[in-house]
Amino acid sequence: MMHGLKIFNAACKGCVNCIKSCPTEAIRVIDGLVHILPDLCIDCGECLRTCRKKALGLDEDDWRELLSQKVPVLADPSFFAQFAAWRPDGVPEALEQSGIRTLNTRRAFDLAALAVARYLEEAPREELPLISTYCPAVLRLIRIRFPELLSRTVPVESPLEVSAELWGRDHGGEAPVLLAPCPAKITMVREPLGRDRSAIGAAVSIRRVVRDLLSSGVKMHTPQEEALTSRRDLPWALRGGEAEHVRRFARRPVRAIAVSGHRNTLDVLRDLELGRLQGVDYVECRFCDLGCIGGVANAESRFLAEIRVKTTEVSWELSQEEREDLEQLHASGIWRLQKDIKPQNRLPLGGDFSEAMNQLTRFREVLDQLPHIDCGACGRPSCQAMAEDIVRGNAELTDCIFKLRERIASLAGEIEGLSRNVPHTLRTREKDR
């Protein structure tokens, strides 16, 4: 599986700071080096935030090479809030000065909001609330930790994918490059969910592009009063932006919960799993704090970016031509996921049922021997993960510092006892003395 993260072994000091931040226990530190289990990683980027040694980084495509090839750019809405001197709705002008072609994503975001609104209207009340599929990290989290909630996810494709699909239809299949705010959206391009292949050709971090633009000396000349105010995709960069857009197309009141940050996301998904969100229609989760503007691949402070988005006027009014176009696109079904999203099953403990049950029994026996304090000194995020690794043959019981101390104490006692022993040939002589 291809991910948006990469490891720099030379920089890793084996400090185990990263393993505690992972919400799916996908990280191990073995022999002093960090390892990521690809089947459990959701590319949320939390490990990048906690690694102080820069041993983890973004696995992005080569921006310079893509720029030289004049590949069109598909910018995530959070990109437009990354510049202190430019209004978000004027950023495309600065890109044009640099010779960068940008896709207009407003049409696709309108379509996604319309599709969600219609889906909520048609869904039976007992199937509500439904869950947004916009954040790829949240979607992968659900596949691993809350698979029973997959039936509640709306089958609506990411508007970024739809934008690329529409562009490709009009430009002979040309695939744009995504400016991504997080490793999860880089992975969305390489290993998409709900479709066999992404319509996006490559992905680079927003940070990389922003720094390149600022260093080139590009300036925006559009006067403040002439800047566009119709970027209806821009609020999606913030928590609650999607829900607000959906309400604009809904023909009945939509009661939505919008949360951001991995702890809040886990809490609301647990509540939903336990049936505690009665009366709610829609759940919008963003894994990063404040929304996509909090992504680890961004260049600007999320707090300043939030101010820029909130102070940018948005025109929610659609012309008759725009409404007719959206209805045609909705009828075409281009907004719908191409296939169902399946749970991400953990690797089985055994090759067949009988072996798996035996290994499960051994797993419980091993777990009972561990201290259950989840200290992380063994390089695993929890004692349960440690027991699982032992059963799989990827660890030993003495990797646990407490079990190692017990073993050392036991061996020391044995050595002390042996040291008092006298060879049998000398025992009579010892008694005579």
Q: What is the distance, to the nearest Å, from the Cα of residue 26 to the centroid of all Cα atoms in its chain?
A: 12
Instruction: Grade residue 134 by pLDDT with cuts at 50, 70 and 90.
Output: very high
pLDDT for 100 beyond 90 = no
Q: Strand locations in 172-238, DSSP E?
A: 177-180, 202-205
Instruction: Give the DSSP letter string of 7-71.
Output: E-TTT-----TTTTT-TT--EEEETTEEEE-TTT-----HHHHH-TT--EEE----HHHHHHTT-
Is there a contact between 51 and 18 (Cβ–Cβ < 8 Å)?
A: yes
Could you tell me if 203 and 57 are in contact, meaning their C-beta atoms sit under 8 angstroms apart? no
- What amino acid is encoded at 426 in this protein? L
Task: Report pLDDT digits (tens) over 269-280.
Answer: 999 999 999 899
Mean pLDDT score, 27-41: 87
Contact 362, 391 (CB under 8 A): yes
Residue-wise pLDDT for 404-416, tens only, equals 888 888 888 888 7
Q: Which two tokens stand for residue 312?
A: 């940018």
* C-alpha span between 386 and 373 (Å, rounded): 12
pLDDT of residue 284: 96
Does 300 or 99 have the greater pLDDT score? 300
At residue 1, does pLDDT exceed 60?
no
Confidence bin at 428 (pLDDT 50/70/90): low
- 33 pLDDT band (50/70/90 cuts)? confident
Q: How confident is the model at residue 362, as a pLDDT?
A: 85
Confidence (pTM): 0.85
pLDDT at 228 over 80: no
What confidence tens digit (pLDDT) does each residue in 304-341 have? 999 999 988 888 888 899 899 999 999 999 999 999 99
Q: Determine the pLDDT at residue 38.
A: 87
pLDDT for 418 beyond 80: no
Tell me the average pLDDT across 342-361: 74
Radius of gyration over every alpha carbon of the chain, rounded to an integer in angstroms: 27
Average pLDDT over residues 419-426: 69
User: pLDDT tens, 157-196?
Assistant: 999 999 999 999 888 888 999 999 999 999 999 999 999 9
Q: 72 with 101: CB under 8 angstroms?
A: yes
pLDDT of residue 227: 45
Across 93-97, average pLDDT: 77
pLDDT value for 225: 44
What percent of the chain is modeled with pLDDT above 70?
Answer: 92
Measure the CA–CA gap between 239 and 262, rounded to whole angstroms.
13
Task: Tell me what pLDDT residue 403 has.
Answer: 83
Residue 135's nearest CA partner among 285, 309, 295 is 285
Confidence of residue 349 (pLDDT cuts 50, 70, 90): low
Average pLDDT on 211-219 reads 79
**Structure-token pair, residue 24:** 């799916």
Mean pLDDT of 269-292: 94
- Predicted confidence at residue 330, as pLDDT, reads 94
Average pLDDT, the chain: 87
Q: Is 125 exposed, middle or buried (0-12, 13-18, 19+ CB in 10 A)?
A: exposed
Question: Looking at the predicted structure, is the pLDDT value of residue 93 above 80?
Answer: no
Per-residue confidence at 226, pLDDT binned at 50, 70, 90?
very low
What sections of 370-400 are H helices per DSSP? 383-392
230 band by pLDDT with thresholds 50, 70 and 90: low
Model pLDDT, residue 187? 94
Q: Work out the average pLDDT over 200-209.
A: 94
For 180-211, letters b (16+ CB in 10 Å) and e give bbbbbbbbbbbbbbbeeebbbbbbbbbbbbbe
